[in-house]
Amino acid sequence: MSINFPLLLVIAVAVCGVLALVDLVLLAPRRRAAIAAYEGQVGEPDPVVLDKLNKEPLLVEYGKSFFPVLAIVLVLRSFLVEPFQIPSGSMKPTLEVGDFILVNKFAYGIRLPVADTKVVEVGDPQRGDVMVFRYPSDPNINYIKRVIGLPGDRIAYSSDKRLTVNGEPVAEKLLGEEPGTLGSAMLYQEKLGEAEHLIRKEMKRYRMEPGREWVVPAEHYFMMGDNRDNSNDSRYWNDPRIPRELLGMVPDRNIVGKAFAVWMSWPDPKLRNLPNFSRVGLIH
């Protein structure tokens, strides 16, 4: 079952805020009036009675305590930075399973939480960015891939695993075989726009027919994983509910933000290993 955490957070902040407001406007004045009436009736007020008259209802007490904390979390993760954990190897070697990353939420515009409506234009995704977005077929699932195609681009991926953008082959340089793969996987340095990064190819694996091309519609983006032969990305998405010309495309409204840093790694907590910080750094 998918849990809409942003919606739950907004509801929690709203409930706690309403409780704090009710106390400020209605309940607190009543407590003060009761204390004043009691003090006017007795010569020496009993501290125990005063504490009892001034005690907040338990629900209000919890609401007022949690409201500032939840409000700060809501602002941070909705408008500034949101943490994610990498669940799969689709972005290897750039990102490994278990990497904890930070995502800039305002790089591509400020959006309202839950509604995801863009209210302030800041910038647009650039070719080569590593971007988190909501999967078009199920917006409750977040994906992370690299931006390959911008609106209007023509993208091709050939049977010999070469990527072409607008008729120009994307520059890549063979670095050598991936350690431990006995030559079955090779590492390349790719230059996509201004971004230089590593990609991984499995030389004996072919997942798609040759000669496939895509044209990126307006306000959409074409995404691919750096682990080119082990990535469920724009090349393979298929949903009968989506018009054919939009298959594989990520609409602008699904953008979550730009991934910019790894701050911790914890590959498999089930093995009782400890988190490590060996991979801390900026994402390229």
User: Among this protein's residues, is 78 annotated catalytic?
Assistant: no
Q: Which of 90, 231, 234, 265 does the annotation list as catalytic? A: 90
User: Among this protein's residues, is 118 annotated catalytic?
Assistant: no
Report the amino acid identity of residue 137.
S
Q: Which of 78, 92, 105, 145 does the annotation list as catalytic? A: 145
Please give, one letter per residue, the 3-state secondary structure of the chain.
CCCCHHHHHHHHHHHHHHHHHHHHHHHHHHHHHHHHHHHHHCCCCCHHHHHHHHCCCHHHHHHHHHHHHHHHHHHHHHHHEEEEECCCCCCCCCCCCCEEEEEECCCCCEECCCCCCEEECCCCCCCCCEEEEECCCCCCCEEEEEEEECCCCEEEECCCCCEEECCEECEEEEEEECCCCCCCEEEEEEEECCEEEEEEEECCCCCCCCCEEEECCCCEEEEECCECCCCCCCCCCCCCCCCHHHCCEEEHHHEEEEEEEEEEECCCHHHCCCCECCCCEECC
> Which residues are known catalytic residues?
90, 145
